[in-house]
Amino acid sequence: MNRFFKKHLGVFVTVGPTVLWLGIFLLIPLAYVILMTVLTKNAYGGMDFIFTLENYRNLFANEYLKVFGDSIWLSLQTTVICLVVGYPFAYILANAPKRWKGFLVMLLMLPFWTNSLIRTYGWNTLLRTEGILNHFLQGVGLIDQPLEMLYTDGAVLLGMVYALLPFTVLPLYTSIEKLDKSLLEAGSDLGASRVHVFTRIIFPLTMPGIFAGSIQTFIPSLGFFFISDMMGGAKTMYIGNLIKNQFLSARNWPFGAALSIVLIVITLILMKLYTRVGSLEDMA
C-alpha cells in the first residue's frame, strides 16, 4: 500500500484535488438527488426516509405531462430557430476574410461575457407594454394601441433564442471552419451545383457541429427558468420553473428531484445520440 502510494504520489498531488472536489460536490450530490426521488415528503417541507415510488407516479399526471410537452416544444422551437438563424451566420463568419475572423468571433462572444440576466432584463425593458419598442411604434404611427409583447410565449422564445444563439453558432462555426476547402472545389469540379455542394458535402460534413450546437442549445434551454420568469411572467409553466417551485415554494423536494431525473434522462438520451456522430471533446 505504501509503495503504491509512493509510486503514484504525483497523481495524488495533481489529479487528487479534482477527484475529491468533483466527488464531494458533484457526484455525491447527484447521487443524493437520485436517492431523494424515492423518499416521502413530510408535512413540514422536509423528507422522511420512507421508500416510495409516488414521486415517479406523479410525473405522469396530466398537468405535468403538459408541462413536459410545453417545455420540450419550447426547447425544440428554440433549437430549430437557433440552427436556422445561426447556420448562415456561422457560415458567413467562417468564410470571412482572415484578418476579420478573430474580430467577428470576438464580437459574437462579447455580449455573452456579460451576465445573461442583465441582458434578458434589457429585453424586458425593451418589450414592456409601456416600454421603448411600443413607445417607438406608437410614435411613428404604426400602431394605435401598445402591443402586448412582454409576458407572452413569443417573448419567452425570443429570450431563449437570444440567450442560446452563440452556443449554436460556435460549434457550427468550428465545424464549417474545419472543412477542407479543396473538398468543395473537388465537389464543383466533379459537376456538383452550388446547391448540391451544400447538400452533399458541406451539410453532411458539418453534421457533428449541427448536433453539438443543437444539444448545447436544447439542454440548457430546459433549465433556464429565469428567462420564462422574466419574459413570460410565468404564464406558461415550464419544467425549469416547476422544479424551481418544488424546491423553493412548494417545498416538495422528492418530487422536484424526480422532475430533475426527467431532465437527466433527456440529457442522457441526447448525449447517446450525439456520441454516434461526434466526440465529447467537441462539446467543451
Partner 1 sequence: MKKKRKPREFRPGSVAYACLIYLFLYLPIFVVIAFSFNSSKMNIVFEEFTVEWYFKMFDNRQLMDSFVNTVIVAGVSTILSVIIGTLCALGLYRFEFKLKNAISSSLYIPIVIPELVFAIALLSFFSALHVSMSMVTLIIAHVTFSMPFVVITVRARLAGFDRSIEEAARDLGANGFRTFWRVTLPMIAPGVISGGMLALTMSLDDVVVSFFTAGPESTTLPLKILGMVRKGVSPDVNALSTLMIVGTIAILLTSNFIQERLERKL
Contact positions with partner 1 (CB under 8 A) in 40-99: 85, 88-89, 92-93, 95-99
Candidate list 84, 186, 269, 271; residue touching partner 1; CB under 8 A: 271
CA-CA-CA-CA torsion sign (169, 175, 181, 183): negative
Packing angle, helices 239-248 and 225-232, rounded to 10: 100
Distance CA 226, CA 184 (A): 43
Return the number of the residue (210 or 224) whose C-beta is nearest partner 1.
224
Task: List CB contacts of 47: < 8 A, sequence separation 6 or more.
Answer: 36, 39, 40, 41, 253, 254
CA 54-259-272 angle, 5° bins: 120
CB of 157 to partner 1, least distance (A): 13
In the block, residue with C-alpha cell 451544400: 198
Candidate list 71, 79, 187, 244; residue touching partner 1; CB under 8 A: 244
Return the number of the residue (190 or 275) whose C-beta is nearest partner 1.
275
Return the number of the residue (24 or 183) whose C-beta is nearest partner 1.
24
Where does residue 141 fall: left (phi above 0), alpha (psi -120 to 50 degrees), or beta otherwise? left
Return the number of the residue (125 or 190) whose C-beta is nearest partner 1.
125
Candidate list 5, 76, 111, 185; residue touching partner 1; CB under 8 A: 111
How many CA atoms within 13 Å lie on the side-chain side of 110? 7
Query: What is the 8-class DSSP label of residue 25?
Result: I
Find the part of the chain contacting partner 1 (CB under 8 A) among 120-128, 172-180, 193-201, 203-211: 120-128
Return the number of the residue (117 or 190) whose C-beta is nearest partner 1.
117
Q: Is 19 a binder of partner 1 (CB under 8 A)?
A: yes
Q: Which residues in the 148-207 window bind partner 1 by CB under 8 A?
A: 162, 165-166
Distance CA 274, CA 284 (A): 14
In the block, residue with C-alpha cell 477542407: 180
Candidate list 27, 84, 183, 269; residue touching partner 1; CB under 8 A: 27
CB of 229 to partner 1, least distance (A): 7
Q: In 3D, which of 274, 240, 80 has the Cα closest to residue 165? A: 80
Distance CA 200, CA 206 (A): 11
CB of 279 to partner 1, least distance (A): 10
Candidate list 33, 72, 137, 179; residue touching partner 1; CB under 8 A: 33
CB of 111 to partner 1, least distance (A): 5
Find the part of the chain contacting partner 1 (CB under 8 A) among 58-66, 102-110, 173-181, 191-199: 102-110
Q: Which residues in the 122-151 window bind partner 1 by CB under 8 A?
A: 122-126, 128, 130-132, 135
CA-CA-CA-CA torsion sign (75, 220, 59, 43): negative
CB of 187 to partner 1, least distance (A): 19
Using DSSP's 3-state secondary structure scheme, residue 48 falls into: strand
CB of 60 to partner 1, least distance (A): 20
